[in-house]
Amino acid sequence: MATETEPPITHRIGIISDTHGLLRPEALAALQGCELIIHAGDVGKPEVLQKLNELAPMTTVRGNNDKGAWAEALPVNASVMIQQVGVYLIHDLADLAIDPVAAGVRVVISGHSHKPSLQERGGVLYLNPGSAGPRRFKLPVTIAELTVQGGEIAARIIHLPIDSQLTHAADDLIYP
C-alpha cells in the first residue's frame, strides 16, 4: 500500500530595502505572516529594525547610508539557507565579490538603486525589492516576497498602495 507524502512546506520571506528611517504602515501590513524578513540596507534608524523584528526574525545588512554604532553592528553581507536554497544579501550589487554559482547561491538580494528588479542570470535570481522608504523621483514604493517550497523558488515585487501612481497588480514583476 503506497503512502502519501506530505507536500513540502512553503516558506514566505519578506524583503524590504532602503527604508531610510521611514517604516510605512503599508509595508508592515504586507510583511505580516512572513516567517523571515530580509532588509537589504539603508535602514536609517534602529527603530525600523525593532519594529520589523516584532513581525518575524530578521537578517539585515548595512547600507551606505547606515551610520552610527547601531549600524556598525550590521554586516555588509549575509548568507541565509532556506530549505536547500542559498540566499546571499548585499546592499549594493556593484559590491558583489563572490561568484554566486560557485558559492551555491540561488538568490542574490540587493537594494541601493531604489529600482525594483527581478532578473535571472546563469541560474541565479537577482532580486532588488526597490525602496519602501521616502519616494525617490518617480520610482514606485515597493517591497518583495520570496517563496521557497521544496527547493523551488518564486518571487514577486509588491507595489505598496500609497498613492494614485500605483502600478496595477498585473504589471508587478513575477518570477518565474
Q: Which residue has the higher pLDDT, 9 or 14?
A: 14
Nearest Cα to Cα of residue 111 among 125, 131, 97, 95: 131
Q: How many CB atoms lie within 10 A of CB 62?
A: 22
| Residue 80 near residue 149 (C-beta atoms within 8 A) | no
Say what the pLDDT of residue 164 is. 44
pTM of the model: 0.89
Whether the predicted pLDDT of 3 surpasses 90: no
Q: C-alpha angle 169/174/176, rounded to 5°? A: 150
| Residue 166 near residue 142 (C-beta atoms within 8 A) | no
All three cell numbers of 17, joined, read 530595502
Say what the pLDDT of residue 42 is. 97
To which CATH superfamily is domain 12-161 assigned? Metallo-dependent phosphatases (3.60.21.10)
Q: How many CB atoms lie within 10 A of CB 137?
A: 6
Whether the predicted pLDDT of 163 surpasses 70: no
Whether the predicted pLDDT of 167 surpasses 90: no
Q: What is the arithmetic mean of pLDDT over 17-43?
A: 96
33 burial level (CB within 10 Å; 0-12, 13-18, 19+): exposed
All three cell numbers of 126, joined, read 537577482
pLDDT in tens, 69-120: 999 999 999 999 999 999 999 999 999 999 999 999 999 999 999 999 999 9
The label of the residue with cell 534602529 reads 46
